[in-house]
Amino acid sequence: MTLFWLSVGFGFVTASVLAIAAVGLSLQFGITNYINFAYGDFMALGAYFTYVFNAEFFHWNVWIATVCGSLLMGVLAVIINHLLFSRFARRFSKTFYVMIVTFGLSLIILNVVYSIWGPDVRAYAMPIERVVKIGPFLLTRDQLLVMAISVVVMVGVAVMLKTTRLGKSMRAMSDNTTLAMTSGIDTRRITTITWFLSGTLSGLAGAVLGISEGNITPAAGELFLFVIFAAVIVGGVGSIYGAMAGAVIIGMATEISAAFINPAYKLDVAFVILILTLLFRPNGLFSRPKG
């Protein structure tokens, strides 16, 4: 039973990281209507930017480095969208052109990361934490902080979408871009801001993934991408709350299953859940009717 509670604890940590990543992907998908296959590599870049601030050059505290690395990734995402994605999206009406471009960018970024930092496993410079026992869970203080950050991000995104003018514009655009444009919403500005948020969240997710796992590798983001896809599809593509719920379901399922089956297959559990969802509820558990 101890093992079970331990894995529930890890499940919370994985779900926290996953939720940040899934919300970032979902926000952007809702607005621009194509999937960013380079998202996993955005995560990797964010993690390595953080690594530069934290261990390689500046030796800042890992959490300050995380914030700087994420924001840098956000700015980079805006630039990438401006130079690449938005141009292809405007030129070709079929979304698979843009999807192939994101797929190609994913390969480019991955190899840039390999060229600069090499294939070796890196780790952040942070003090070794003692394990804290809370109820039945055993977690490090860093892992608790990761969970706290995730909760803050989730609440922040939800409040932003519900109450602010920006959030309302984003929801309007994700429902119907043309209608939003004719209602006087500056869709280009909203798209830019969305890319900034999506990029920042991807960077943050990459960095906290590195912190909670204890290491960073160039391909970690790509492997994680498919777990994000699982969370997003299980929750319902384009739905932010669905993405949060999907993240909790997938995060818990993968970690708890690792207590019972060979942990090497824990990613495949996410895939099984994905397939089951597609068979019985192909639009996801929390999908909205599209008008």
Residue numbers at the binding site for another protein (CB under 8 A): 29, 33-35, 37, 84, 87-88, 91-92, 95-97, 99-101, 103-108, 110-112, 114-115, 119, 222-223, 225-226, 229-230, 232-233, 237, 262, 264-265, 267-268, 271, 274-275, 278-279, 282
Q: How far is CA 189 from the centre of its chain?
A: 22
Q: Minimum distance from CB of 39 to another protein (Å)?
A: 11
Q: In the complex with another protein, which residue's Cβ is closer, 140 or 287?
A: 287
The closest alpha carbon to 169, from 190, 197, 188, belongs to 190
H/E element holding 72? helix 62-80
Q: In the complex with another protein, which residue's Cβ is closer, 95 or 140?
A: 95
Q: In the complex with another protein, which residue's Cβ is closer, 104 or 214?
A: 104
Residue 133 sits at φ, ψ, to 5 deg, of -105, 115
Q: Minimum distance from CB of 99 to another protein (Å)?
A: 6
Q: In the complex with another protein, which residue's Cβ is closer, 101 or 252?
A: 101
Q: In the complex with another protein, which residue's Cβ is closer, 33 or 140?
A: 33
Q: Minimum distance from CB of 147 to another protein (Å)?
A: 26
d(CA 37, CA 97): 12
Contacts of 149 (CB under 8 A, 6+ apart): 16, 20, 204, 208
Q: In the complex with another protein, which residue's Cβ is closer, 88 or 286?
A: 88
Q: Minimum distance from CB of 115 to another protein (Å)?
A: 5
H/E element holding 216? none
Q: Minimum distance from CB of 279 to another protein (Å)?
A: 7
Q: Minimum distance from CB of 263 to another protein (Å)?
A: 10
Q: Minimum distance from CB of 243 to another protein (Å)?
A: 13
Residue 183 sits at φ, ψ, to 5 deg, of -85, 5
Q: In the complex with another protein, which residue's Cβ is closer, 107 or 159?
A: 107
Cα-based torsion angle of the residue sequence 107, 23, 165, 67 in order, rounded to the nearest 10 degrees:
-70
Q: In the complex with another protein, which residue's Cβ is closer, 127 or 282?
A: 282
What is the DSSP track for 254-269? HHHHTTTS-GGGHHHH
The closest alpha carbon to 47, from 196, 197, 156, 207, belongs to 207
d(CA 170, CA 27): 9
Q: Minimum distance from CB of 125 to another protein (Å)?
A: 25
- Range list of β-strands (E), the chain: 131-134, 137-140
Answer yes or no: are the C-beta atoms of 167 and 160 closer than 8 Å: yes
Answer yes or no: are the C-beta atoms of 54 and 36 closer than 8 Å: no
